[in-house]
Each structure stands twice: as C-alpha cells, then as structure tokens.
Amino acid sequence: MAVQIDRPPGPGQSEQADPAVAEKLSDPRWAWAAYQPDASRPWNLARAAHLHRRAAFGATWGRLQQTLSDGPQPAVGKLLRPKADTAAFNRKYDEYETSAAAVDALRAWWLRRIIQTPHPLMEKMTLFWHSHFATNAAKVKNARLMQRNIQLLRSQALKSFRSMLEGIRRDPAMLLWLGADASRKALPNESFARTLMETFTLGPGRYTKKDVREAARAFTGWFVLRGRLRYIPREHDAGVKQILGQKGSFTGNDVVRIVLEQPATARTLVRKLYRWLICETEQPTTRLITPLAESFARDYDILKLIETMLRSNLFFSPLAYRRRIKCPVEFALGIIKGLEGVVSTTQLARDLANLGQNLYHPPTENGWTGGRHWINSATLTGRHNLALALLSSSGPYANKLNPWPLAKKHGSSTPESAMKLLLDLFLQTDLDPKVYDTLLKTARAQNGLVGGSDQEIVRRSAHAIITLPEFHLA
C-alpha cells in the first residue's frame, strides 16, 4: 500500500492546473496576503478541514460546520486566540503532570491534554518544538526535568523564540541530554554550542569550528548538579571571544543574541515552520521566504509568523493541500477527535511509540525526520491495526469510539448515509470517484447482510475510510 503525496487530491485540481494561480503562488506579495474566498477559490468543507488538520489535530463534525459558517479569517482567529481560559486548563494539567512519577505517565497526560485542550494550536506547536529542541528522557532519566522541559516549550510555543531559546540554554533536561551538564573554564564543553548553531538556529554550514569553540567558552561555568542548574563564577571563562564575526567578553546570553542576529537563523526557522504548516514536498524559494524571515528576525514573534502563514493565500492553495504526511500523533488524534471520544492514552502512547513517535523520546538531536520516513510497510500495517483497535468493541479501547451513534447524532439513519457523513468528516470526499462508489456499494451490500448490525457495518465502513491512503495526508 503506497501513500501518494506527489499529486494531492481535493478541491484544488482546477486551480493547480491554472497557470495564473501557479504564477501567483511564487509571488510573495500574493502568496502571503490573506485568503479571501471567491468563485474560483471558494470557502468549503475541504478547506475548513485542511485548516484543522494543520493548525489542530482534526475536528469534530460540529466544529467543521461552525468553521464553515465562520469563514476562513474568523476561523483562523479562533485557533490563534481562543476565547476559552487556556491558562486555567493548562494549570490543571500541569498539576496532573506534577503527580506523575514516570515519563510513561507524562506521555499519557500529554495525549489527554491534546484531546481535551481548548487551544489545539498550542499543543500542535508544542509538538513541533519538541522535535526542534529534541530532548530524550532515556538519557535524562528524570521525569520532573522532562516535564519542565515540555512546559517551557508550551509556555513559549506561540510567543517568543528568543525567550524559548534563552530558556533552553538553561534547561537541565536539555543539558543532560546533550552531555553538556558540566562546562569548566579549563575544559569548555562544546556540545550545546554546536547543537545551538547546527540544529536550533543557523543550520549546517553557517558557522565554523572556531565559532563553536569560542561559544563553548562563553557557556563555561554552568553545571547541572542533582537535577538543578548551578552557575559557578570561578569556572566561567571571562576572556575575550570571537564568535560569528563579533568580538567581546561574551557570556551565554551574548551567544544567544549573536546567533539570533544572523539572518540565517530566521530563514532556517521559517523554512522549518513552512514545512510543518504549509508543504513538505517542495522547498520554498528564497524569494518566497525572504519577507517572512525579515519580519520574524525583527522580534522573533512566533504567533505573528504563524498567523501570516495560516491566513495566507498560499496556505489555502493546492500547493499546501494534503502536502504533508501525518505523524503518528496526528493520525491517531485525527480519528479520536473526529469520533468525539476519549480513549486510554496510556495504551495510545505505547501504540504511537510502536509507530515511531515515542513522546518524550525523540530519536536524535534532530528530532523526528518526518515526511516519508513515517511511512513504510511496517508502520502502515501498524496504523491499520491501531485504527482497527480504536474502533473495536473489545480490547484496550473497547467501545470508546463508536461511529454509529455519532452518525445518528448528526442525522444519519442508515449505514449508507453514515458512510457519506464519515467520508465528509475524515476525507471531505477527496477520493477517486471509483473508490468512492466502491465504498458506497460495499456499505449497501453490508447493509443487506443477514445478521450484520448497523453498528458493525458502520464500524467497518469507518475503518475502511481511515485506512485509505488519503487519510494519512495532512
């Protein structure tokens, strides 16, 4: 079973073939201008669902209908700045996590938070930064430090990249993970300085070995002792350093300032966010990225950058539509959110780990590679089995997700009409007409089977839909 990501299905086929649209997509003035529906680019169910796949983890049928009614710009506004008391919600879940004695419990609480959060974009971006600032609990070996690491990312996920980076450089979990938990004047530890430049900011090839050595001197004096960050002044090298063309008696704060002043940092981050929110199959041109990078470099305001992307013509264009492969968390949570249920997140965390996304355990300093790396014969079989388990009337998720009562709640009275509802909910009928007809014929045939209950027919229909290749695409 192969997932096709080179030619996305959906509402943009005629647009995609239009040379005028293709030309506009390469023009940053048009690409980043706010999308306004018109006859050729209507606001429809497909675009509403696209917004919730990218800026959230899918949506309920009711939420999709409300989004349709709101229109694109108000709908984006609700995702960016929800009216609900997000701070109170997060304080409650922080308290739950504080009682967790092990990382396995933290994984489960995070997934439960994602299911129930009033601010899904915040959790979507926390997941993004968890991969960007990858920290693996297996090496840290301290659940409390890992909890604080994710709390730091969440606190700044939609705020200031500058503040996030300043926090990361003082984060005990990060320093332990990188083996940078001791940096003496006589023996500067280069691990954090190298990762800071290579992965967190500048990107490969935009610094020298000397820059790393000099930056490591600036970070001397910091230690993680018994899980706490400590600064020992006598171990700090106060001498003059030369880093990325600047010279002075720099400290760690200065290094953060210097790397953020480099144009390469904003460009690297914008490209990475483009891949997460817009498209991972085609690299954006320098011309397209430049205005966003220049704006981002002025204040490193994450929310402002994401708002520009989510409101844009480009975001709602065929270039972005189903142009990302869902990570395992997106795949599973899209099913759970759509079917309006709550499942055992302890079991779900284990199943997601088996699919390659073990929360709190990104595999390397570069996080999860993503893209086509999520999909192979083993993980596709695993996704198929997870979908089956989630819909099962027995086992670890027994009856927690039942599409038949959901379909009846939204006006479907037959398995065939339920199938149509589920197709609109999960795929917005982004299917080859032959596949669509085959699914409906199957539903009709199953409806006539002796002894086949409507509930089981709709379960099988739902499973057929969420294991189609299109459902793996965000």
pLDDT tens, residue order, the chain (474 aa): 333 333 344 555 555 556 666 778 889 999 999 999 999 999 999 999 999 999 999 999 999 999 999 999 999 999 999 999 999 999 999 999 999 999 999 999 999 999 999 999 999 999 999 999 999 999 999 999 999 999 999 999 999 999 999 999 999 999 999 999 999 999 999 999 999 999 999 999 999 999 999 999 999 999 999 999 999 999 999 999 999 999 999 999 999 999 999 999 999 999 999 999 999 999 999 999 999 999 999 999 999 999 999 999 999 999 999 999 999 999 999 999 999 999 999 999 999 999 999 999 999 999 999 999 999 999 999 999 999 999 999 999 999 999 999 999 999 999 889 999 999 999 997 777 788 778 777 766 765 554 568 898 899 999 999 999 999 999
8 A C-beta contact, residue 440 and residue 416: yes
Q: Helix, strand, coil shares of the chain as percentages rounded to 5?
A: 60, 5, 35
Report the alpha-carbon distance of residue 64 to residue 49 in Å, rounded: 7
HEC assignment per residue over 69-132? HHCHHHHHHHHHCCCCCHHHHHHHHHHHHHCCCCHHHHHHHHHHHHHHCCCHHHHHHHHHHHHH
| Cβ count near 234 (within 10 Å) | 7
E strand segments, 104-218: none
pLDDT single digits (tens) 171-221: 999 999 999 999 999 999 999 999 999 999 999 999 999 999 999 999 999
At position 28, the amino acid (one-letter code) is P
Using alpha carbons, select from 232, 207, 206 the residue that is nearest to residue 221.
232
- Residue whose pair of structure tokens reads 């007809």 in the numeric block: 437
The answer to whether residues 146 and 97 touch, using CB atoms and an 8 Å cutoff, is no
Question: Could you give the C-alpha distances from 97 to 103, 108, 110, 142, 295, in angstroms and in order?
Answer: 10, 9, 8, 13, 36
**Segment 365-370 long-range contacts (CB within 8 Å, at least 24 positions apart):** 365/134, 365/178, 365/195, 365/199, 366/134, 366/199, 367/130, 367/131, 367/132, 367/134, 368/131, 368/134, 368/327, 370/131, 370/280, 370/325, 370/327
Q: How many CB atoms lie within 10 A of CB 4?
A: 12
Residue 21 pLDDT: 67
Neighbours of 101 (CB within 10 A): 9
Amino acid at 257: R
Do residues 332 and 348 touch, judged by C-beta distance below 8 A?
A: yes
N residues, the chain: 474
Q: What is the pLDDT of residue 451?
A: 52
pLDDT for 15: 55
**Strand-pair category, 246-248 with 222-225:** unpaired
Q: Quote the pLDDT of residue 2.
A: 37
Token output for 117: 């959060």
Query: Is there a contact between 330 and 120 (Cβ–Cβ < 8 Å)?
Result: no
Contacts of 4 (CB under 8 A, 6+ apart): 469
Q: Is the dihedral of CA 325, 329, 332, 335 positive or negative?
A: negative
What does the pLDDT read at residue 23?
76
Pairing of strands 228-231, 222-225: antiparallel
Element (H, E) at 193: helix 191-195
| 393-396: long-range pairs with CB below 8 Å, 24+ | 393/459, 396/344, 396/347
Pairwise CA distance, residues 139 & 353, whole Å: 17
Q: In a 3-state reduction of DSSP, which class is residue 169?
A: coil
Decide: helix, strand or coil at residue 211: helix
Q: At 426, which amino acid appears?
A: F
DSSP secondary structure code for residue 424 in this structure:
H
How far apart, in whole angstroms, are the C-alpha atoms of residue 276 and residue 124? 10
Question: Which residue in this structure is represented by tokens 């000397």?
Answer: 210
| CB-CB neighbours of 128 under 10 Å | 20
Element (H, E) at 225: strand 222-225
End-to-end CA distance of the chain: 18
DSSP secondary structure string, 241-281? EEETTEEES--HHHHHHHHHHSHHHHHHHHHHHHHHHT-SS
